[in-house]
C-alpha cells in the first residue's frame, strides 16, 4: 500500500466520506446526539484525520450544510425545467426546485435539525 501524501482524488474521497457520514449522524441523531468520535469511526478514519479537517462539531456541521447545499444546487441544475423569460416563468421554475427539495425526507430532517431547540 502506498504511503505518503494522499492524492487530490483521495482527499476528495476522504472529505466526501466524512461529510456523508456526518450528515447521516446529524439527521438520525440530531446535533447533540452526534459525536466526532462516532463520525470518525463510521467514516473509517482516525480522529486525527477528522479533527485535522474540522476542529470541532460546529465546523463539521457547517461543512455538511455547505456540502449538501452544493449537491442540491447541482441536482437542481441538472433538472430539465425551463426557466422561461418572463418573471412568472422564472418564479415557477424556482418554485419547482424549492418544492422538490422540500418534499424530500432529507430536507424535512434537516429542517427539524435546524429548528430544534
CA 43 to the chain's CA centroid = 14
Structure confidence at residue 101 (pLDDT):
72
Q: What angle do CA 89, 90, 92 make, to 5 degrees?
A: 65
Residues in the chain: 117
* CB 61 within 8 Å of CB 33: no
CA 6 to the chain's CA centroid = 22
Structure confidence at residue 112 (pLDDT):
81
Q: What is the pLDDT along the chain (117 residues), one digit of tens a residue?
A: 567 787 899 899 999 999 999 999 998 999 999 999 999 999 999 999 999 999 999 999 999 999 988 887 777 677 665 666 677 777 777 778 777 777 788 878 877 877 775
d(CA 63, CA 3): 27
Structure confidence at residue 82 (pLDDT):
60
Amino acid at each position: 500500500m502506498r504511503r505518503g501524501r494522499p492524492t487530490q482524488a483521495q482527499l476528495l474521497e476522504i472529505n466526501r466520506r466524512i461529510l456523508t457520514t456526518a450528515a447521516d449522524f446529524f439527521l438520525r441523531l440530531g446535533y447533540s446526539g452526534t459525536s466526532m468520535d462516532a463520525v470518525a469511526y463510521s467514516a473509517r478514519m482516525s480522529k486525527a484525520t477528522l479533527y485535522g479537517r474540522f476542529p470541532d462539531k460546529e465546523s463539521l456541521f457547517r461543512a455538511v450544510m455547505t456540502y449538501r447545499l452544493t449537491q442540491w444546487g447541482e441536482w437542481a441544475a441538472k433538472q430539465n425545467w425551463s426557466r422561461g423569460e418572463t418573471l412568472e416563468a422564472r418564479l415557477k421554475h424556482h418554485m419547482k426546485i424549492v418544492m422538490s427539495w422540500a418534499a424530500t425526507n432529507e430536507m424535512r430532517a434537516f429542517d427539524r435539525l435546524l429548528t430544534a431547540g
